[in-house]
């Protein structure tokens, strides 16, 4: 086993062990390991493949045809009066695509390239800092939605670790991060640039919630009504995947579904890392860097009463390239009770049903307590 030196660059994590005891441990900082040019993978990152989660097995993973994944032109969804026929076609494509995949790519969304490039610049500037500078500029809060700079979902000292460094901030509601040092102070415009992106992205997410309801032949506001403009939550998570010496032994992110209603993702510098489980095979998504990706989360599966399903997905590592992604997790306020939309088989709304009312905060507590899991278990909490 190749030796590595963490140089004192470690994240501190706290967890409750199997005996109910609170323990604190340290985990290596992946970016610092990658900077050493390792040719072997440190033991803590080696993941044994399983039937449910093969790491690098050609019999279980393959690519997706670029034509198979739905690409939605948001500008057409907005053309209610100028191009009603084109809009109807786009709604039909949205319905079939998201029902089939649980996600879609979006183009012509109206978020300016200046805003998107600004996010890329501040993210790369932050991860260009030394570990010491990062720790000085932002805190880490494992108990509070894993906010700040650090690790998430570490539950034991012998748990295989993901090959990722991450940064998480609460962008909404206003004051939701009061008293927490979760926004980097370097670069100085990090928060300003990110919040501008969130402001524009939120409008797109609200439009998509309305369009999805309409596409499913539901009343237009049945989903967006849960999103109070003042109190709804948006968490921003920046994911950094350095080059990995052994992609066949490690994962970028463990398989999971999202504890959100919708997740909006942008990526830069590389593509090819995101995979979705479909028909018991892991499929690599054709996601060009100039498109945004919209992912159905568990809450939208519950709201839609199973008409839409949150996809089980993961991120694989790559040997020669580094990759960044920025995810916005959009949720109703924590005290909101979600009531699943009734399923009316006589109206042709098949494929749904079986969910009960849930309170957002209760579901999130359950989700974080049991994650990570081998398969999609958290959603069973909302099942009848």
- Asked if residue 145 has pLDDT above 70, the reply is no
4: which 2 tokens?
Answer: 């590595």
- Alpha-carbon span 294 to 256, nearest angstrom: 15
Domain residues for the domain of 115 are 71-382
96: which 2 tokens?
Answer: 């079939």
- Which residue's entry shows tokens 């901030």? 169
Is 61 a domain residue? no
Vertex 359: Cα angle to 344 and 378 (nearest 5): 80
Q: Which of 84, 85, 78 lies closest to 106, judged by CA?
A: 78
First to last CA, the chain: 49
SS3 308: coil
- Asked if residue 350 has pLDDT above 70, the reply is no
Tell me the mean pLDDT in the region 213-240. Answer: 96
SS3 382: helix
Q: Which of 319, 317, 299 lies closest to 309, judged by CA?
A: 299
SS3 299: helix
Please give the C-alpha separations between residue 352 and each of 89, 161, 349, 383, in angstroms, as whole numbers.
23, 36, 7, 12
Tell me, what CATH number does 374's domain have?
Answer: 2.60.120.330
Is 35 a domain residue? no
Mean per-residue pLDDT over the chain, rounded: 88
285: which 2 tokens?
Answer: 């998504």
Phi and psi of 325, rounded to 5°? -140, 150
Tell me the mean pLDDT in the region 337-353. Answer: 73
Percentage of residues in the chain with pLDDT exceeding 70? 89
pLDDT at residue 348, rounded to an integer: 46
Is 236 a domain residue? yes
SS3 188: coil
When pLDDT is cut at 50, 70 and 90, the band that residue 47 belongs to is confident
- Alpha-carbon span 208 to 106, nearest angstrom: 10
User: Between residues 147 and 223, which one has the greater pLDDT?
Assistant: 223
When pLDDT is cut at 50, 70 and 90, the band that residue 352 belongs to is confident
Is 155 a domain residue? yes
Is 253 a domain residue? yes
pLDDT at residue 67, rounded to an integer: 59
Phi and psi of 98, rounded to 5°? -75, -35
Tell me the mean pLDDT in the region 164-171. Answer: 94
Question: Counting beta carbons within 10 angstroms of the beta carbon of residue 135, is it exposed (0 to 12), middle (13 to 18) or buried (19 or more)?
Answer: middle
- Which residue's entry shows tokens 């340290």? 26
Phi and psi of 350, rounded to 5°? -85, 170
Is 44 a domain residue? no
Tell me the mean pLDDT in the region 244-257. Answer: 94
Q: Total structural domains in the chain?
A: 1
Strand partners of residue 321: none
Is 46 a domain residue? no
When pLDDT is cut at 50, 70 and 90, the band that residue 13 belongs to is confident
pLDDT digits (tens, 9 = 90+) for 280-321: 899 999 888 789 999 999 999 999 999 999 999 999 999 988
Is 11 a domain residue? no
- Asked if residue 7 has pLDDT above 70, the reply is no
Kindly write down the DSSP assignment for every residue of 331-381, as one continuous string: E--TTPEE-PPPP-GGGT--S---B--EEHHHHHHHHHHH-S-SSS-GGGG
pLDDT at residue 1, rounded to an integer: 45
When pLDDT is cut at 50, 70 and 90, the band that residue 57 belongs to is very low
Tell me the three-class secondary structure of 60-74, residue by residue.
CEEECCCCCCCEEEH
Cβ contacts of residue 313 below 8 Å, gap of 6+? 255, 256, 257, 274, 275, 276, 277, 295
């Amino acid at each position: 086993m190749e030796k590595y030196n963490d140089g004192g660059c470690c994240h501190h994590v706290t967890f409750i062990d199997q005996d109910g005891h609170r323990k604190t441990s340290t985990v290596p900082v992946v970016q610092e390991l990658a900077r050493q040019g390792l040719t072997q993978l440190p033991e803590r990152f080696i993941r044994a493949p399983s039937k449910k989660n093969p790491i690098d097995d050609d019999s279980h993973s393959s690519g997706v045809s670029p034509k198979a994944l739905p690409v939605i032109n948001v500008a057409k969804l907005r053309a209610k009066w100028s191009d009603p026929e084109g809009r109807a076609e786009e709604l039909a494509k949205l319905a079939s695509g998201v029902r089939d995949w649980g996600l879609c790519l979006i183009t012509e969304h109206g978020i300016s390239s200046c805003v998107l490039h600004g996010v890329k610049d501040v993210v790369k500037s932050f991860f260009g800092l030394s570990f010491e500078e990062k720790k000085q500029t932002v805190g880490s809060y494992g108990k509070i939605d894993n906010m700040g700079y650090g690790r998430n979902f570490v539950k034991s000292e012998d748990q295989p670790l993901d090959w990722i460094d991450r940064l998480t901030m609460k962008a909404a509601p206003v004051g939701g991060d009061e008293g927490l040092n979760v926004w980097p102070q370097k670069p100085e415009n990090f928060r300003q640039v990110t919040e501008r992106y969130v402001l524009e992205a939120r409008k797109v997410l609200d439009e998509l919630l309305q369009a999805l309801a309409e596409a499913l032949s539901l009343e237009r506001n049945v989903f967006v009504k849960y999103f109070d403009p003042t109190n709804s939550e948006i968490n921003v998570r920046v994911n950094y995947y350095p080059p990995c010496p052994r992609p066949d032994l490690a994962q970028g992110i463990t398989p999971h579904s999202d504890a959100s209603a919708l997740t909006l993702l942008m990526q830069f510098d590389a593509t090819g890392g995101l995979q979705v489980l479909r028909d018991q095979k892991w499929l690599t998504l054709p996601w060009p860097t100039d498109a945004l990706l919209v992912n159905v989360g568990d809450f939208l599966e519950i709201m839609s009463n199973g008409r839409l399903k949150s996809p089980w997905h993961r991120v694989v590592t790559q040997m020669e390239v580094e990759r960044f992604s920025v995810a916005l997790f959009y949720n109703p306020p924590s005290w909101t009770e979600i009531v699943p939309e009734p399923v009316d088989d006589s109206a042709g709304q098949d494929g749904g049903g079986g969910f009960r009312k849930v309170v957002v905060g209760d579901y999130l507590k359950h989700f974080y307590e049991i994650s990570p899991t081998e398969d999609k278990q958290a959603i069973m909490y909302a099942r009848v």
